[in-house]
A and B are shown apart, each in its own frame.
Chain A
Amino acid sequence: MTGRWTLVLGAVLAGVFALAALVSLVWVPVPVETFAVSFKLKPIGTPGFPLGTDHFGRDILSMLMVGARTSIAVAIVAVGIGIAFGVPLGLLAAAQRGGLVDELVMRGNDLVFAFPSLVIAILITAVFGPSATNAILAIGIFNIPVFARVTRGGALSLWTLDYIRAAEVAGKGRARISMEHILPNIANLLIVQGTIQFSLGILAEAGLSYVGLGAQPPIPSWGRMLAEAQTMIVMAPHMAILPGLAIVLTVLGLNLMGDGLRDLLDPRLRRTR
Chain B
Amino acid sequence: MLRYTLSRLVSLGLSLVVASLVIFAVIEVIPGDPASFMLGMNAADDTVAALREQLGLNGTLAERYLAWVGGMLLGDFGVSYTYRVPVADLIAARMQVSVPLTVYALVLSTSIAIPVGLIAAARQGKATDLAVMATTQMGVAVPNFWFAMILVLIFAVNLRWFPSGGFPGWDKGVWLNLKALTLPAIALALPQASILARVMRSSVLETLSQDYIRTARAKGLTRTQAVLRHAFRNALIPVLTILGLQFSFLLAGAIIIENVFFLPGLGRLIFQGITQRDLIVVESVVMLLVGAVIVVNFLVDLAYAAVDPRLRARA
Point out residues on A near B: beta carbons under 8 Å. 107, 110-111, 113-119, 122-127, 199, 203, 206-207, 210-212, 226, 229-230, 233-234, 237, 240-241, 243-244, 247-249, 251-252, 255-256
Contact = CB atoms under 8 A, between A and B. Distances in A.
With most chain A CB atoms within 10 A of its CB, the pick from B18, B273, B274 is B274
Contact of A226 (B23, B37, B146, B297): B146
B228 to A, nearest CB: 27
B149 A240 contact: yes
Contacts of A124: 26
B68 to A, nearest CB: 15
A113 B152 CA distance: 31
A122 B274 contact: yes
B138 A111 contact: no
Given A207-B145, A247-B143, 5 more contacts: A118-B255, A211-B255, A229-B149, A248-B146, A249-B141
Given A125-B274, A233-B149, A119 B252 contact: yes
For the complex of A and B, list the 5 residue pairs with the smallest distance between their C-beta atoms, beginning with the closest: A244-B146, A118-B252, A251-B141, A116-B252, A252-B141
B315 interface: no
Contacts of B137: 252, 255-256
B259 interface: yes
B289 interface: yes
Interface in B266-315: 270-271, 273-274, 277, 279, 282, 286, 289-290, 293-294, 297
A110 B289 CA distance: 15
A127 B150 CA distance: 34
B19 interface: yes
A110 B286 contact: no
B38 to A, nearest CB: 10
With most chain A CB atoms within 10 A of its CB, the pick from B23, B145, B157, B271 is B145
B157 A211 contact: no
A107 B16 CA distance: 12
B252 A117 contact: yes
Contacts of A211: 255-256, 259, 271
B251 A114 contact: no
24 contacts: A107-B18, A114-B293, A115-B19, A115-B22, A116-B252, A119-B289, A122-B282, A123-B23, A126-B27, A126-B277, A206-B143, A206-B146, A207-B145, A207-B252, A207-B256, A211-B256, A226-B146, A226-B149, A237-B153, A240-B150, A247-B146, A248-B141, A251-B140, A256-B137
Given A115-B290, A248-B138, A126 B259 contact: no
B259 to A, nearest CB: 6
Main secondary structure, interface of A, reads: helix
B202 to A, nearest CB: 11
B7 to A, nearest CB: 14
B31 interface: yes
Contacts of B10: none
B72 interface: no
A126 B297 contact: no
Contacts of A119: 252, 286, 289-290
B182 interface: no
Interface string B131-143: 0000001101111
Contact of A234 (B37, B157, B274, B286): B157
A114 B149 contact: no
Contacts of A118: 252, 255-256
B31 A127 contact: yes
Contacts of B26: 123-124, 126-127
A192 B146 CA distance: 26
B55 interface: no
B62 interface: no
B73 interface: no
A189 to B, nearest CB: 16
B31 to A, nearest CB: 5
Nearest to A118: B252
A15 to B, nearest CB: 16
A252 B279 contact: no
Given A126-B27, A199-B141, A111 B146 contact: no
Contact of A122 (B140, B286, B297): B286
Contacts of A241: 150
B266 to A, nearest CB: 11
Contacts of A111: 15, 18-19, 22
A123 B252 contact: no
Contacts of B274: 122, 125-126
B260 interface: yes
Given A111-B15, A122-B286, A244-B150, A127 B27 contact: yes
B249 to A, nearest CB: 6
A110 B15 contact: yes
Nearest to A252: B141
A10 to B, nearest CB: 10
B159 interface: no
Contacts of B51: none
A226 B150 CA distance: 11
B245 interface: yes
